[in-house]
Amino acid sequence: MNFINWFNWLITLYLAALISACSVNLSLPEDSPYWGGYKYEQVYIIEKNIFLMKSDYYGEYLIPERNYKGRSIGRYQLAPKSIEEYKKDPVTSSIYERKRNQLSKSKYEELLKKYRNDPTKLSAIKRMHGPRKLNVLGIVNAGTKIKAMKITNKKSWVPGFGESERIFVYGELLTGPFSGRLVDIRDISIYYNNGDVNKYIYKPENGLITVEK
């Protein structure tokens, strides 16, 4: 095994350790400074047609189309390319082809076979090198109302890196076909550092979500 293959395999094994890292997601109070630019039970308006998507890791979340130019940060690369493309063929346009860490088909299948009896390593290989099919639940139309309902602080202990923290922001859809769903709204928000709490938190992103007047 040459150095490059050895290094790639070492990264894959390390990912397995990351996946098994201990983590806890703590709900924060209504008056927490970690609400950032959002306010508990404030009603907001979705300003642009966006996707409602679901993943095993993130749960249900709102996200703009992949070619949306106003993105600041987020998982936009995991969304269909555009609303129009998705409407033409919802199945095909929901498939995301990996560009990084992509092994040859033969090498990928070789690893799947080699570690078929090791669920932890097999999961890491699939997450890092395998194709990813997106689960698009539908389109949330501009004008939809959503109420800020919950924030959490996910604390993780990762081997080799120690403790890390991430803030999650959730809203309840009030109108439209998905009314009543509690969804992650970080991908329609701006990620910024609030000096008061010395932590990266979120605020509404202009063009995607705004306070109801």
* Separation of CA 49 from chain center: 18
Burial 26-52 (b: 16+ CB within 10 A, else e): eebeeeeebbbbbeeeeebbbbbbbbb
> CA Rg, the chain, in Å?
19
Q: How far apart are CA 36 and CA 38, in angstroms?
A: 5
pLDDT tens-digit profile, the chain (213 residues): 455 555 555 555 555 555 445 677 788 999 998 999 999 999 999 999 999 998 877 789 999 998 787 565 556 667 888 899 899 988 877 766 554 456 677 787 888 888 888 888 887 777 777 766 678 999 999 999 999 999 998 877 666 666 777 889 999 999 999 999 999 999 999 888 876 666 778 999 999 999 998
Location of structure tokens 């991430």: 166
CA-based nearest residue to 37, from 75, 72, 77: 72
pTM of the predicted protein model: 0.72
